[in-house]
Amino acid sequence: MQSLFENNNEVRSNFLTDKGKPSERVGRKAMGLRFSGAKIARLPKQGFLFYLFNPDSRIDRVSVCRFLAGGTSMNDKSVKQAEKLILIATIIIFVLLFFLKSTSPQFTLSSPVEAKAAIIEESAALVAVIEDETLPTFHEEFSPEQEIEKPLVAVLNSPNDAIPSFKEIGDELEIGLELATDTELFFMGEVSSRNLRVRVQVSNKGDTSSTNIRVEMPLLGNLDSPYQVLSKETYSHKPTAITEHNLGNRSASFIIPLLAPGAVETITVDYFLNVTPMTANLSSLPGSFRSGGQYVDPVYLLPADKIESDHPEIVTKAREVTAGSDNDLDKARDIYKFVIKYMKYDLNSSYRNSGALSALRTRSGVCEDYAALFVAFGRSEGIPARIVNGYADPKGRGEIWNVDSGKVFPLKGYRHSWAEFYLPGIGWIPVDPTMNIYDQNLTYFASLPQASHLAQNYQDQNMRLRYQGGQLAVIWGEELAG
């Protein structure tokens, strides 16, 4: 209201007397308003609506309606209609403002789990308040590096020896291929159910309480690998948000309002997985895969951290290794043979977990380096490829994952990385060069013959912890539950 009058100097000057008090005669004539000794120039900042709907307002509502009508005379009916219109407009404005505020995308929820739908109801308000506060400097900590995996040794000589029974899923995976109706694209073994459990224990080691604790915890990724399906996931604490990141990664945010000295809070997430052994029937696959097919994210063709597919040394060597092949399947096989023959597995190598270029130069490393070299060569040759991180049975059988009811099997020391490459019309095909270092039969090329691998993500991510006060420590643990 103040700006309304200040922007009309002529009306304002006519409206006030020399002593700064209103002239009722001029005021009524010029604007149709009546005042009781109030200075227009000093109207409080509440604004026009305050004066319109505040019972203590000194402005006569009838006169205001006349002002809005352009100074014309109004009968009682017209005044009431104008008041109704103003009231309706005000209500609409308040509703819109409330709606926009309440639907602000502060957190994005996305999860393949049924439980995701009602995740935020109880704790979203708490998070909103905390986010709006100006808090002192937060401490930020990261989870320690994963344990280096044990050497993996394959013991299987033939996919047929490993898989007692098969079922055909060719009709499900066949897209745009001209194959005989009785051709099997993949042999699939019996489904095994696994309960992967992740525990994050937060404890306060300090002498003072810790408040406003925010835990951003990596989740099992949104995976489209054909040998594993997430059927359900459950949480001990309701996440305030589940957020999707690139490469299918997800994270859940949790709030712990208060943790007293010596207190411990444990967040548990259970994943219920169906794992199926699979072996591609390579003799049934067509010779060319470059026409048609389904969409694949182009990121799987690009260089990345530890996957230096555009480096001249990798480009030159990949071209040399695949020179005798003219299709992606044969090229992938050539690369696989090269990696397992060229590399030397060394758990104590100072170059371990250093990526594809390091593996090419030093010929030494562990499972991550084997997988990175395969993926980098594949991408260099235009074959979509990616690293898969998770867990594997060192014997390649998966028997150790069979946990009795009520018991748990710790996964520390079983961390593993393998790879997948993509063929249009077929999909993602697994390979595990590390499992073939003592087996020259290519058992793990286009095959995971037993339910021995548990995929977790296509790119590792850190856990983040923020808090105010106290001294927090975090323990991350993973296990299989019976």
- Give the tens place of pLDDT for each residue, 276-323: 999 988 877 665 554 344 568 999 999 999 999 999 999 999 999 999
Could you tell me which residues are beta bridge partners of residue 253?
216, 241
Q: How far apart are CA 160 and CA 184, in angstroms?
A: 14
Determine whether 54 is exposed, middle or buried from the number of CB atoms within 10 Å of its CB (0-12, 13-18, 19+). exposed
Q: How far apart are CA 482 and CA 480, in angstroms?
A: 7
Helix (H) or strand (E) holding 235: strand 228-235
Show the tokens assigned to 227: 């040998």
Q: How far apart are CA 198 and CA 200, in angstroms?
A: 7
Q: How far apart are CA 141 and CA 389, in angstroms?
A: 22
Determine whether 272 is exposed, middle or buried from the number of CB atoms within 10 Å of its CB (0-12, 13-18, 19+). middle
Determine whether 356 is exposed, middle or buried from the number of CB atoms within 10 Å of its CB (0-12, 13-18, 19+). buried
Q: How far apart are CA 64 and CA 50, in angstroms?
A: 12
- Alpha-helical (H) ranges within 242-355 are 312-321, 328-342
Q: With contact defined as beta carbons under 8 Å apart, do 172 and 146 qualify?
A: no
CB neighbours of 482 closer than 8 A, spacing ≥ 6? 195, 403, 404, 405, 406, 407, 408, 409
Q: Which position has the token pair 């299709």?
A: 327
- Alpha-helical (H) ranges within 355-466 are 356-362, 367-380
Q: For residue 167, what pLDDT is reported? A: 28
Q: How far apart are CA 287 and CA 179, in angstroms?
A: 12
Q: Which residue positions in the chain have pLDDT lower than 50?
A: 1-59, 64-65, 67, 72, 101-182, 290-293
Q: For residue 91, what pLDDT is reported? A: 86
Of 134, 170, 207, the closest CA to residue 281 belongs to: 170
Of 5, 100, 116, the closest CA to residue 14 belongs to: 5
Q: With contact defined as beta carbons under 8 Å apart, do 185 and 466 qualify?
A: no
Of 312, 233, 313, the closest CA to residue 268 belongs to: 233
Of 269, 264, 263, 254, the closest CA to residue 123 belongs to: 254
pTM exceeding the 0.75 threshold for the entire prediction:
no
Q: How far apart are CA 476 and CA 200, in angstroms?
A: 5
Distance between alpha carbon 53 and the CA centroid of its chain, in Å?
A: 48
Q: How far apart are CA 186 and CA 230, in angstroms?
A: 20
Q: For residue 439, what pLDDT is reported? A: 78
Please state whether 30 falls in left (phi above 0), alpha (psi between -120 and 50) or beta: alpha
Q: Cα dist. 431→293, 385, 420 in Å?
A: 21, 10, 6
Show the tokens assigned to 153: 């040794």
List pLDDT tens digits, range 354-366: 999 999 999 999 9
Q: How far apart are CA 354 and CA 371, in angstroms?
A: 11
Q: Cα dist. 389→225, 306, 321 in Å?
A: 12, 14, 26
> Helix, strand, or coil here: 11?
helix
Q: For residue 388, what pLDDT is reported? A: 98
Could you tell me which residues are beta bridge partners of residue 431?
419, 445
Q: How far apart are CA 57 and CA 138, in angstroms?
A: 47
> Helix, strand, or coil here: 137?
coil
Show the tokens assigned to 358: 């390091």
Q: For residue 128, what pLDDT is reported? A: 27
The phi and psi torsions of 392 (rounded to 5 degrees) equal: -145, 145
Determine whether 358 is exposed, middle or buried from the number of CB atoms within 10 Å of its CB (0-12, 13-18, 19+). buried
Q: For residue 80, what pLDDT is reported? A: 76
Q: The sheet that has 464-468: what strands, in order across it? A: 139-142, 464-468, 210-219, 250-259, 241-244
Helix (H) or strand (E) holding 220: none
